[in-house]
A = this chain, B = another copy of it.
Amino acid sequence: MPQFLSTTDADFDTRFTALLSSKREDSPDVDHVVADIIADVRARGDAAVLALTAKFDRLDLTPATMRFTEAEIDAECAKVAPADMAALQLAADRIRAYHSRQMPTDALWTDEAGATLGWRWTPVSAAGLYVPGGLASYPSSVLMNAIPAKVAGVGRLAVVVPTPDGVTNPLVLMAARIAGVDEVYRIGGAQAIAALAYGTETIAPVDKITGPGNAFVAAAKRRVFGKVGIDMIAGPSEILVIADRDNDPDWIALDLLSQAEHDESAQSILITDDAAFGNAVAAAVDARLQTLERRAIAAASWQAFGAIIVVQDMAEAVALSDRIAPEHLEICTADADALAQKVTHAGAIFIGGWTPEAIGDYIGGPNHVLPTARSARFSSGLSVMDFVKRTTLSRMSPEALAAIGPSAERLANSESLQAHGLSVRARLDRLNRGGT
């Protein structure tokens, strides 16, 4: 059974705060191992990557076989059922259409002082995408990471995906092909992150690394951050559903379970203004848990971290939601649009009963890489913005420098940075002598 809370309980605030701060992830401390792996790859390049792949993935590669050839990708793609291919293609088209609208625009203007100012966006030159092997090898993640990069204009996109014991997921390669990935390597773990960040004889270094991974991958990404850019370090998945009594309890139960089935550390919370509806959803969850394939995982998550919170009204629901700052927020109420407008902190909002969160995981169009662990208070999901960067532009006319330069000089001197001031003063002096 999940926790039941009501905002009218005397101890509500204590219990809600405890729910918010429940530690859901036990990150093993693998930092020393990862530091050694990165040092090894920096020192020995391909040789280190190959040795570590033999050790961890039980796979003997050579520099020549590290990378999938086009023929090998063709052969894997040929194994994909046409309906799966069509579904991936539809998802890719919709993700591309959504993300294409995110491209930021350049600006350039001249202000009243005569200063020409602006900025220009340019894509990251090369990006690397980590794709986990084994059970959590999700083709949808390939699309969600690779398409924003390609929309941004990233010239070279390299995927690393471990193939333990040589087992490959054809759908991952199909997704990579559909998304326009340029290179795919059969490597994983911290060694793959190190190879992407520092390069080896076979793998050219990239400027930015994104994509999910296990504790080793996460620790490696943290370590190479600065040398390259990284995306967020994602925690276990979360969903908050705000629903009134006019919903099918089974639908809401399935939406809660679709996060719970990800991971024993996932968290699913229902907020409702109707206690009876809350009980009905709890019963529906239990019923579905009888037969769900991943019931062991889903039940463990629901038991440990699930919660049903009864509120007095939906304004209270929104206030609690902002304190949770959920990764996924589903709003299934009569006035769902109006309620969504009032939310301040959430990674993604799914509005109305016909929008199960799973649509967003695959095919809606928005990205499914979203801020977890309350970080929606200060960060956003993956987007085209993660693969571009801004260069600011300034051009002073002599008149502009004459107008604003003296203030710059004054501020420089107040900060005891004399050369700053002199660099302005030397030019002002020329102007004062009538020169340009």
Contact = CB atoms under 8 A, between A and B. Distances in A.
Contacts of A364: 115, 117, 394, 396, 404
Contacts of A189: none
A242 interface: no
A362 B424 CA distance: 11
Interface in A62-98: 83-84, 86-88, 90-91, 94, 97-98
> How many chain copies does the complex carry?
2
Contacts of A292: 418-419
A276 interface: no
A258 interface: yes
A362 B412 contact: yes
A135 B417 CA distance: 10
A375 B401 CA distance: 30
A8 interface: no
A360 B412 contact: no
Interface string A389-420: 11111111110110011111011101111111
B254 A422 contact: yes
Contacts of A408: 87, 91, 358-359, 361-363
Contact of A254 (B86, B117, B419): B419
A417 B378 contact: no
Interface in A259-283: 260-262
Contacts of A418: 261, 292-294
A392 B347 contact: yes
22 contacts: A87-B408, A94-B404, A140-B411, A171-B414, A207-B377, A226-B375, A229-B375, A251-B426, A254-B422, A258-B420, A288-B422, A336-B395, A345-B391, A348-B393, A352-B395, A359-B408, A366-B393, A367-B392, A376-B389, A378-B389, A380-B389, A383-B390
